[in-house]
Amino acid sequence: MTPTLPRTIRAVDTDRLLALEQEAASLGFSQRLPVDWLQEHLAAEATHYLLPTLVHQLRHRPDVSPQWRCQLLLTVSTGEQIWGLLDVLPDTFDKLTESLGEASKKDIVNRIERAVTQREWAERLTDDAAPKQTPRD
């Protein structure tokens, strides 16, 4: 029987998000972002959001199966919101406080749908930092 995916969104601060990402890294989950990258680019005082969207089953790793594959809405240091993915254990997700009303959840889903991915944002950041070449005479 497939576990029931929660139909909710959880809000977490940057420290809690980093802890969730570290847990995913230590468990070898496939959908996560590098903790060092997040430490460098997340807005320190921001709120980030997790929306479970898929039950991820690992038959070869029953000790960490199932997982909730969550869409993330992250706020980075520029103030922009970007989209990512994170696999979370159901027990870990259930321990996150439910704090959002229905209107807030709908707004967050709309923002997730419009957000650029973490990869797109990082590539744009790299492109902006690259030295500009001028044509030779």
pLDDT tens for each residue of 44-60: 999 999 999 999 777 77
pLDDT of residue 84: 96
- 3-class SS at 115? coil
Count of alpha carbons within 13 Å of 114, Cβ hemisphere only? Answer: 8
More confident residue, 69 or 64: 69
Cα separation, 43 vs 50, in Å, equals 16
Looking at residue 113, its pLDDT comes to 96
Query: In this structure, are residues 50 and 93 in contact, taking their beta carbons and an 8 Å threshold?
Result: yes
Q: How confident is the model at residue 64 (pLDDT cuts 50, 70, 90)?
A: confident
Q: Which strand (E) or helix (H) includes residue 122?
A: helix 118-129
Predicted local confidence at residue 24, as pLDDT:
93
Q: Is the pLDDT of residue 106 over 60?
A: yes
Which of residues 125 and 39 earns the better pLDDT score? 39
DSSP tag of 28? T
> HEC string of 37-106?
HHHHHECCCCEEEEEEEEEECCCCCHHHCCEEEEEEEEEECCCCEEEEEEEECHHHHHCCCCCCCHHHHH
Convert the pLDDT of each residue in 109-130 to its tens digit: 999 999 999 999 989 877 766 5
* Mean pLDDT, range 28-56, rounded to an integer: 93
